[in-house]
Homo-oligomer: A and B are copies of this chain.
Amino acid sequence: MFPISDVEFDNAVKRLGIMDVAGATIRQICGLAHELEQSAGEPMIHLEIGNPGLDAESIGVEAEIEALREGVANIYPPIQGVPRLKKAGKAFLKRFLDIDIDEKGIIPTVGSMQGSFTLQLLLAQRLKEKKDTMLFIMPGFPANRQQAKVLGIKTEQFDIYPYRGKALEAKLESYLSKGNVTGIMYSNPNNPAWTNLTEEELEIIGRLATKYDAIVLEDMAYFGMDFRRDIQAPGAVGSTVARYTDNYILLLSGSKIFSYAGQRIALVCIGDKVYDTKYDYLEKFYEIPRFGDAYIYGVLYVSSSGTSHSAQFALARMLEAAVEGELPFVEHCSEYGRRAERMKKLFEQNGFRIVYDMDGDEPIADGFFFTIGRDGMSGAELQKELMKHGISSIALATTGSEQEGIRACVSMVSSDEQFERLERYLKNFNNKP
């Protein structure tokens, strides 16, 4: 039964060879949670992993099956993407962001993970001697910085928490003015904080990206899930840095918005100006001067020779259906918002607080993630104590946050039984001597 003792916890950590729980990867925490469940003889509440907690959109599954039946499995997929997917991606961006990107720049990748890995590689090459650094606006998805590290690319980062609004400008410029930043990466809505950049902040990022020739990688993994604004309402559109700079690349994944993570399918959407810019180094290295062409035929080709042929048709169909209003993906995902609202209340009733709580003067949305702190406890302590009490999560420190707390993901908690269990665990925590 939870809570378990310090000794039991420490033994499990030792068995798994984890050197530092607060610094552990999500996969390691999953392993630890499994051990603790064995010790306690009852299930944990899993807030650590961001697996989609909904079924895959059936319209995508059906389209994928149809493509397989029509015989795409034996033919190499075009590396630049099947025409239908490129067209559907373009229409989706037009409808939900009101931006125009030429179809040539709409390119499938094996999840946004492959997108950000391969784009960082090319961003570090385009002006090789001059611009060699990726700047990450934190908190963020830890894997993105790890990608830069694996590729041998220099990184800078800062926690946006104390620099929201106007303060962002001076902070951002302090990095960009050095001239060595080739790309700026962030996720919006934010993983893990579930904050959303305001229009003021997006304008600052866009303007400075143009001024200093940095290219923005805007990760839209949770696109449309700022449930304060329904982007599927007639005439509504979402926010993006693409309205404030031509120096942008958007990462649009099917994993969360269509619950399609299993098939590893996403789109890299390269703005026309970025696509068409020619670089001497790329011409010399790949014999392909244009950034977008070098990305497809130079980098993506050697990374995996393209993305699953059938999954491309699945994503195409889901994007088309979303544009046509036939697939209410925002409504489907809003289930996460309802869970977050209910969960956050339980935490707050038991002495916890939301760490990242505001976007400008507006409370943040309820969605896929939220962040939790407790006065007088460090993030590492809080993570450990919560685990001992049956609640698994990751420490904010691993996400590049400088705040003390943990990240909670709502996706794996759905039944009333789980909510009641969460409440019981939280009460135990709050009432401990």
Contacts from A to B (Cβ < 8 Å): 19, 25, 27, 51-52, 54-56, 60-61, 64-65, 68-69, 71-77, 109-111, 113-114, 117, 121, 143, 146-147, 149-150, 152, 255, 259-264, 285, 287, 297-299, 301-311, 314
Contacts and interface: CB of A to CB of B under 8 A. Distances in A.
A259 B311 CA distance: 17
User: Nearest 7 A-B pairs (CB), nearest first?
Assistant: A262-B309, A56-B73, A110-B304, A56-B74, A114-B304, A74-B259, A113-B305
B143 A302 contact: yes
Nearest to A261: B76
B64 A73 contact: yes
Contact of A262 (B73, B111, B117): B73
A68 B303 CA distance: 25
A77 B264 contact: yes
A73 B61 contact: yes
Nearest to A307: B264
8 contacts: A19-B287, A27-B297, A51-B75, A55-B74, A56-B74, A65-B65, A75-B261, A263-B310
A25 B264 CA distance: 27
**Best-surrounded residue of A51, A77, A263 (most CB of chain B within 10 A):** A263
A13 to B, nearest CB: 14
B111 A264 contact: no
A357 B400 CA distance: 59
Contacts of A113: 301-305
A56 B71 contact: yes
B263 A309 contact: yes
B51 A304 contact: no
Contacts of A298: 150
A64 to B, nearest CB: 6
Contacts of A76: 51, 255, 261-262
Contacts of A61: 68-69, 73
A25 B314 CA distance: 30
Given A69-B65, A304-B113, A308-B311, A74 B260 contact: yes
**Best-surrounded residue of A56, A117, A264, A307 (most CB of chain B within 10 A):** A264
Nearest to A65: B65
Contacts of A109: 304
A114 to B, nearest CB: 4
Nearest to A306: B264
A305 B264 contact: yes
A302 B305 CA distance: 17
Contacts of A64: 68, 73, 310
A309 B306 CA distance: 16
Contact of A73 (B60, B147, B307): B60
Contacts of A307: 110, 264
A303 B310 CA distance: 20
A51 to B, nearest CB: 6
Contacts of A55: 71, 74
B299 A150 contact: yes
Contact of A308 (B54, B69, B263): B263
Given A110-B110, A264-B308, A309-B263, A302 B117 contact: yes
B297 A25 contact: yes
Nearest to A300: B113
Contacts of A52: 74-75
A113 B303 CA distance: 6
Nearest to A302: B147
A255 B306 CA distance: 13
B304 A117 contact: yes
Contacts of A264: 77, 110, 304-309
